[in-house]
Homo-oligomer: A and B are copies of this chain.
Amino acid sequence: MARYSKIKNILKSRNLRITDGRVDVLEFFFRKGKTLSIKEIQEELKDSDRVTLYRILNAFTENGVLHKIPDDSGQVTFGLCHDTCDAEDHNHDHMHFKCLDCGTIECLEQQVPEVSIPGYQVKEANLILKGLCKSCAA
C-alpha cells in the first residue's frame, strides 16, 4: 500500500481527521523508521506551529498512533504504535533500547518478561535497555 494511503487509514481508524500537519508528522515517522523526539520533529517540520505540533502528538498518543517512551533524560521520545493500538488499548509491551553512543532509541520486537510482585497489581511494564546499538557495537 502506498504510504499516504496507509497514513490516511491510520488516521481514519482512530477517528482523527486527515490534516496536512498530521500527515506530515506520520510521514516523517514512516520515512525515518525510528523513534523521534519532539526536537527532531520540529527541526524537520520547521514552519509548522509549535502548539499545533504538541496537540498533534497528544492526539496521536491518546488515540494509539504513537506511544511515549520513558527516558530519564527528560526528553520525550515517541514511537509508532502497532496497528492494534487504539484509544482504549495501547500495547506497549515491547522493550526499548537507548544507545549511549548515537542516542537513538529503538523499539525492539521482544516482549517485556512477565513480572509479578506480591501484594501489587501489575498492569503495565516498561523495560528500557541502555548500551550500544547494533551499528555502534559493530
Contact = CB atoms under 8 A, between A and B. Distances in A.
Give the oligomeric copy count: 2
Contacts of A68: 72
Nearest to A68: B72
Give the one of A70, A113, A137 with max B CB within 10 A: A70
B137 A129 contact: no
A129 B124 contact: yes
B130 A127 contact: no
B115 A132 contact: no
Interface of A: 68-72, 74, 76, 95, 97, 100, 108, 110, 112-113, 115, 117, 119-134, 137-138
14 contacts: A68-B72, A74-B76, A95-B115, A110-B115, A113-B115, A121-B131, A121-B132, A121-B137, A122-B129, A123-B131, A124-B129, A125-B128, A126-B128, A126-B129
